[in-house]
Structure 1
C-alpha cells in the first residue's frame, strides 16, 4: 500500500528539516574545505608547475575531514603512504613492466609495507592507491609519480595551514554534547524517580533504554575535546581559549561517569521493581533533586556564557544532598535499594566535579558510611544549617 500524500509530505519535510540542521552544524567545515581545496590546487598548479595536481585537493579534503584531534597524523600518513606506493610502483614497472600480476604484486607489497610502517589504515590504503595509479595511469616515464608525492605534501600542508588560520572552535560542539548527556541524565533520573514512586516497571524500562543509547554522544564529546587540544597546538588564534578547552577536557570523565552511574541506577531500579520492593521516600527525593541539578547544568552548557554564575548555588544544593544521602535513608531496605543509594552518592560526586570540584572534595561532602572514612567528611546536613561539619 502506498503511503498517503500527507504522510509522504511529512517525511519529505522532515528530511528537508534534518538536512538544513546538518548544514547549520557543518557549514563552517564546508566553507573551510572549499577554500582549502581550491588553494591547494592553485599552489600545485602555479607554484610547483604541475599540470594536473589533482591529488593536492584530494589530500586536503582527507586531512580536513578527519576529526578527534588526528588531522596532523592523517597528513603525515597521507604523505608516507603516497611515497611508499609511488616508490614501489616505479620499481615494479621498471623491473617487470605493467600487467595483471604486476599490479597484484605491487598492491600486495604496498599494503604490506604500509602496514609495517604504521598501524593506521590510511598509510596502507594510500600506498595501494598510489601503486595502482603509477602502474596504470601515471607510469614513471611521465614523472607523474613524483608529482603525486609532492601533491600529497602540498595538500596535507595546505590543510593544516587552513586549520591554523581558519580554526573551528570545538567549544560549541563540545558544550553541545556535554549538554545533551546532562539532559539525558536528568530525564532518566526524573523518569526513574517517578516510576519508583508509582511502582511503574514499564516506565523504568523505557528510562533504561534511553540511557543505553548514549555512547555515540559520549564519543562526539571526546572527539570535540581532542580536536580542541589539536587546535591549540596548530592555531595561535585558539590560544585565548586555552583555559576553556582545558576546562572542557577536565569534565569529560565526570560527565561520562554521570550517565554511566545513571544507567546502573536505572538497572537496579528495574530489579527492585521486578521484585516488587520499594525504596524510601527520602531516596526518591534525592534522585529527583539530582535530576533537577543535572537539568540546570544541561541548560547552562546549552548557552555560550561560560561564567556559570549559578554554579555556587548548584554546589550548595549538592552539598545538602551529600549530607542527606546516608545509610539511614535505605535502612532496613533490600540490597537493590541500598545499591540505588550507592549510585545516587556516586552521581552527587560526578555532578560536583562537573561544577568544578575535585573528586576528593566531592567525596568529602558525602555523609560517611564507614567508621574510618579514607576522606575526612564535610557535611551540610540541611539548607538552614550550613555551618555544621564533621
Structure 2
C-alpha cells in the first residue's frame, strides 16, 4: 500500500511539474480576457471570457492553433445559439431541452471529441441558468469571442515549449522499441516462447505511443511556424519528423520480426546467432534514443547499424538453419534500412548496404 502511494505521489508530482508551463499560459490568458472585458468594455462579470479561454487552451497534447481556434469558435457559436434561443423563447423547461439538443448537435458538428460537447454545453447552460449581465442580450457572446481571441494570442505569444512534449513522446516510443528488442534477444537466446510472446504483445501495443509522438510533433511544428519566439526550433522539429517517419516504419517491420520469432520459437530451440544480431540492434536503438539528449550518439548508432546490415546474409548468419531460420534474418533487412534512415541516411544509400543475395 505504501509503495502504491509513493508511486502515485511521484506520478502526480511529475504531472504537475510537466503541466506548469500550461498552467501559467492558461492563467495569463484567462486574466487577460477578464481584464479586457471588465476594465476596457466595462462588463461587471465577464465569466465566459475566462471559461472559453481556459477550455480552448486546456491541457491537451494537441496545442495546434487550429485546434484552439476550432474549440473557441465552437464554444462561441454554442453561446450565441443559446442567447438567440433565450431571446426568442425565454427560459423554461422545454427551452432548456431545446437549447441542450441544439448545443450538443452544434458541438458534434465542430468536433469529434466527446469531451468537447460537454464543454460547449457547460457554456450554454451558463447562458441559460445564470442571470443575464448588464449590457445587452448578446454581451456573453462577446465574452466568448474575447476568450477565444486571448487563447489564440497566448498560443502565439506565450507558447508552451513545443519540443518538450514531442521529445517525451519520442522517448516513450523509442524506449518501448528498445524493450521489444531486448525481450526478443533474450527469447531467441534461450529458446523461450513465453518471452517471445510477451515481446510480440508489447510490439502490438506500440502504435499508441507512436501516434502520440506524431500528434505532439504536429502540434509543435504548428506552433513553431507561427510563434516568433519558437521559429528557431523548426529545423530541429523537422529533423525529428523525419526520424518519426522512419521509426513508424521500423515499428511495423519489428512487429513482423516479432511474429516470425514467436512462430519460430514454438519448437523451443535457441537461435543464439539471431539473438546476437537482435542484441546489437538493441544497442543501436538505445543510442538512437539517447541522441535526444546527446546528438553525438546518432553517428554511433548509425555505425552499429551499418556494421550489422553488411553481414545480414542468411547463409552466413544461419548456414545450417531451416528456411524459417533464414526467413527471420531476411525480415531484418527492411528493419535495418528503416533504422539507418532514422539516423539520417538516405533510403537508397541504406538499401545499397544490404548484402547481395
Name the SS of the counterpart of 1:317 in structure 2: helix
Whole-angstrom distance in 2 between the partners of 1:355 and 1:313 = 9
Whole-angstrom distance in 1 between the partners of 2:136 and 2:325 = 71
User: How is 1:25-64 mapped onto 2 (pairs within 5 angstroms)?
Assistant: 25-64=18-57
Which of 308, 322, 346 is the matching residue for 1:358? 346
CA-CA distance at 1:117 after TM superposition: 6.3
Whole-angstrom distance in 1 between the partners of 2:21 and 2:110 = 34
Question: Could you say if the C-alpha distance between residues 173 and 113 of structure 1 is closer, same or farther in structure 2, counting changes exceeding 3 Å?
Answer: closer
In the alignment, what sits opposite 1:309? Answer: 296
Which deviates more, 95-104 or 22-31?
Answer: 95-104
In the alignment, what sits opposite 2:309? Answer: 322
In the alignment, what sits opposite 1:383? Answer: none
Larger Rg: 1
Name the SS of the counterpart of 2:46 in structure 1: coil
Question: Could you say if the C-alpha distance between residues 182 and 67 of structure 1 is closer, same or farther in structure 2, counting changes exceeding 3 Å?
Answer: closer
**TM-score normalized by the length of structure 1:** 0.81
Which of 260, 265, 286 is the matching residue for 1:268? 260
Question: Is contact 2:103–2:120 with CA below 8 Å preserved after alignment?
Answer: yes
Which of 2, 11, 20 is the matching residue for 1:9? 2
Deviations 1:151-197 (A, max 9, x none): 11211221222222222222233223222322222232122122212
Whole-angstrom distance in 2 between the partners of 1:86 and 1:299 = 48
CA-CA distance at 1:120 after TM superposition: 6.7
CA-CA distance at 1:90 after TM superposition: 4.2
Question: Is contact 2:173–2:210 with CA below 8 Å preserved after alignment?
Answer: yes
Which of 268, 291, 297 is the matching residue for 2:282? 291
CA-CA distance at 1:204 after TM superposition: 1.6
The runs of 4+ residues in structure 1 deviating greater than 4 Å are 113-131, 141-145
Matched, 1:240 2:232: yes
Whole-angstrom distance in 2 between the partners of 1:158 and 1:333 = 66
In the alignment, what sits opposite 2:337? Answer: 349
Matched, 1:216 2:208: yes
Whole-angstrom distance in 2 between the partners of 1:245 and 1:317 = 25
Question: Could you say if the C-alpha distance between residues 266 and 175 of structure 1 is closer, same or farther in structure 2, counting changes exceeding 3 Å?
Answer: same
Whole-angstrom distance in 1 between the partners of 2:79 and 2:167 = 43
Whole-angstrom distance in 1 between the partners of 2:209 and 2:88 = 52
In the alignment, what sits opposite 1:92? Answer: 85
CA-CA distance at 1:336 after TM superposition: 3.9
Name the SS of the counterpart of 1:325 in structure 2: coil
CA-based RMSD? 2.8
Name the SS of the counterpart of 1:168 in structure 2: coil
Equivalenced residue count is 355
Task: Provide structure 1 residue ranges, at least 5 long, that are not aligned to the other structure.
Answer: 1-7, 370-390
Question: Could you say if the C-alpha distance between residues 291 and 94 of structure 1 is closer, same or farther in structure 2, counting changes exceeding 3 Å?
Answer: closer
Whole-angstrom distance in 2 between the partners of 1:30 and 1:242 = 24
Question: Is contact 2:192–2:268 with CA below 8 Å preserved after alignment?
Answer: no
Deviations 1:291-343 (A, max 9, x none): 11011112222x1x4xx234334323322212111242345644543442233
In the alignment, what sits opposite 2:76? Answer: 82
Which of 167, 172, 182 is the matching residue for 1:175? 167
In the alignment, what sits opposite 2:142? Answer: 150
CA-CA distance at 1:30 after TM superposition: 1.7
Whole-angstrom distance in 2 between the partners of 1:314 and 1:248 = 16
Deviations 1:181-219 (A, max 9, x none): 222222321221222121112222233333334333223
In the alignment, what sits opposite 2:246? Answer: 254
Deviations 1:121-143 (A, max 9, x none): 6886666555544443345x955
